[in-house]
Amino acid sequence: MLKELRKSPGGRAARIVAELTEAIHEHRMAPGMKLGEDEVCEIFGVGRTVTRQAFQMLAHEQLLTIEPNRGAFVAQPSIREAREVFEARALLEPRTAHSAATRATPEDIETLRTHVTQEHAALAAGQNGQALKLSGKFHLEIAAIADQGTIAEIIRQLVSRSSLVIALYWRRRSAMCESHAHDALIDALSAQDAPLAEELMQGHLVDLLSLLDLHEPSDAPKSLHEALGR
């Protein structure tokens, strides 16, 4: 069944989407980078139909923008969008953390602690893109623990957009975890202290917004071959 999925156009498009999404989240593909159809076809060994299907899927996730007569580009959120993404997260995620604190099991807490250990290890190794990706997944884990499917899907989209925002507007390296906000959140969830979990998540997201430099974009993007390590 898995082999059939990989051979199908939808399966091949999904594989492209997964790899490009990971590269974007790990900041190996910068906002504004152009993705040429021919280049993607060559790298993944697929035809234009599959490549265009993958582009449409990524555009639906707001990770790509497709411009008529120009092509596909990694999305480049505006300053206004950057603010809106984090303001929306600050509205949704504190209540999600509150709900998660009432539902978290010892196994959930252990999963979160393991996750944060990996996050800090990535930072210590200088793998900042990987650390950012893990940080985003930490927030998704909390949404999953809260067991609020509709809200969790919205948060997933916002976290995905956050990766692009951070790539453009982040002020300094490793700021995502230097306050150990995730460790404090885990302690509150473990203690089933829902009000504290909500307060900590609110403060964490406000801090993240304050660390955005909403004036100067990052350096120009690299090539797709280099971003994917081909």
Per-residue pLDDT of the chain (230 residues; tens, 9 = 90+): 434 444 555 788 999 998 998 888 887 888 899 999 999 999 999 999 999 999 999 999 889 999 988 999 999 999 999 999 999 999 999 999 999 999 999 999 999 999 899 988 988 887 877 888 888 899 999 999 999 899 999 999 999 888 888 888 876 554 454 458 899 999 999 999 999 999 999 999 998 888 888 765 555 555 777 777 76
Same domain, 56 and 148: no
Say if residue 20 is in the same domain as residue 130: no
Name the CA dihedral angle for 82, 84, 86, 92, rounded to a multiple of 10 degrees. -160
Residues 28 and 102 placed together within one structural domain of the fold: no
Range of the domain at 100: 79-210
CATH number of the domain within which 27 lies: 1.10.10.10
Structurally, how many domains does the chain consist of?
Answer: 2
Residue 64 shares a structural domain with residue 86: no
| Neighbouring-strand partners of residue 35 | 72
* pTM recorded for the entire structure: 0.75
SS (H, E, C) 57-117: HHHHCCCEEEECCCEEEECCCCHHHHHHHHHHHHHHHHHHHHHHHHHCCHHHHHHHHHHHH
- Pairwise CA distance, residues 135 & 123, whole Å: 11
Q: Tell me, yes or no, whether 227 lies in a domain.
A: no
Within-domain flag for 193: yes
Tokens 């790899």 belong to which residue? 19
The answer to whether residues 174 and 62 belong to one domain is no
